[in-house]
A and B are shown apart, each in its own frame.
Chain A
Amino acid sequence: MSGGEREFPDEPAGPFPTPPREAVDDERRTIRYRAVGTDLGCETARSALVDMYRAFDPADRAQGIPPSTESAIADWLDAILTDDARNVVAFADATDAAVGHATLVPDGDVYELAIFVLQAYQGAGVGTELLRTALGHGAATGVDRVWLTVERWNGPAVALYRKTGFETDEAESFELEMCLRLAPSQTESTG
């Protein structure tokens, strides 16, 4: 499927903050959000993400990703940590470990989005900040349309995407398909 078959909202969502930035989560932990390639080297990001995904709970896997074995995780990261993708990693300030990852992967002239947050950091606002920062990074670097799929039963994720400005389209599937438009001029500047 490509962008041409999808219905994107007419009105852009946002404004969204751009990386690098930090924010305190609902449990008073400082989280740093950094863009791969600009704030953070690709190799550093890759090894931090391998560690994060090895610790990932299988219950939080979605439609087959992240993969379960270390070699499959490495192959998958190679495919999405490319120069033309946009990746933002959330680091816990206390341990310097990766605790979240958002990625925008090119699909023709639009982008497919996915976000993952380590279990111990879910429900504390990290996913919201990570998603908003990834969209800000995308908007600032020429991304104007984003789509994703999410399992229909995943209520918290669907609510997060709706709150951020994603709208569901008409695709009939096990998964819900959602789309969002970005305006490059609307990024927030935050620290």
Chain B
Amino acid sequence: MKLLLGVGGRTESARALDRTLSRTRETGDDLTVAVFDDGDAASLDDVEARVRDALVSHGVDGEVRRVERDAGSGLVGLAEREGFDRIVLGGGERSPMGKVQVGAVAQYVVVNAPVTVTLVR
């Protein structure tokens, strides 16, 4: 399966990255990681460096791309143009109360993607 994993700077993305890489090592899925800006303080360079480190430490091959500008439509467009089967994203963070809050990028992708979307929590 051709997987597109979107990774931003927040904790939810770190969790999605770790879980997806562990799984990809077992399934052998064809993985592309798209780095995007989710408003976190981390720069795209920081996030990309984290992704490359994680690929090495999990022993997984994967192409690393960047979604510049609008992350939601960028991810959906990339999945459409290049025939991805599935988009994987972090599925929200919890508020101090424990309420799940799904971010703007995940909301856009869930509503607009033509392919299956997996939110990792």
Residues of A within 8 A of B (CB): 1, 62-65, 67, 76, 79-80, 103, 105-107, 112-114, 149, 172-175
Contacts and interface: CB of A to CB of B under 8 A. Distances in A.
B102 interface: yes
Given A63-B101, A149-B101, A173 B96 contact: no
A174 B102 CA distance: 8
B107 A103 contact: no
A174 B107 contact: yes
A103 B97 contact: yes
A149 B104 CA distance: 15
- Which range holds the interface residue count of chain B? 10 to 19
Given A63-B100, A149-B101, A174-B102, A112 B95 contact: yes
B98 A173 contact: no
A175 B100 CA distance: 10
B96 A114 contact: no
A113 B107 CA distance: 24
A112 B98 CA distance: 10
Given A64-B98, A174-B102, A175-B101, 19 more contacts: A63-B95, A63-B99, A63-B100, A64-B94, A65-B97, A65-B98, A65-B99, A67-B98, A79-B98, A80-B97, A80-B98, A107-B95, A107-B96, A112-B95, A112-B96, A112-B97, A112-B99, A113-B97, A173-B102
A48 B99 CA distance: 22
Nearest to B98: A65
Interface of B: 94-102, 104, 107
A114 B104 contact: no
A112 to B, nearest CB: 5
Nearest to B94: A64
A149 to B, nearest CB: 6
Contacts of A114: 97, 99
Nearest to B106: A174
A105 B104 contact: no
Contacts of A63: 95, 99-101
A64 B100 contact: yes
Contacts of A65: 97-99
A170 to B, nearest CB: 13
Contact of A172 (B97, B100, B104): B104
Contacts of B101: 63, 149, 173, 175
B65 to A, nearest CB: 26
Nearest to A1: B95
Contacts of B100: 63-64
A105 B107 contact: no
Contacts of A107: 95-96
A170 B63 CA distance: 37
A105 B102 contact: no
Nearest to A72: B98
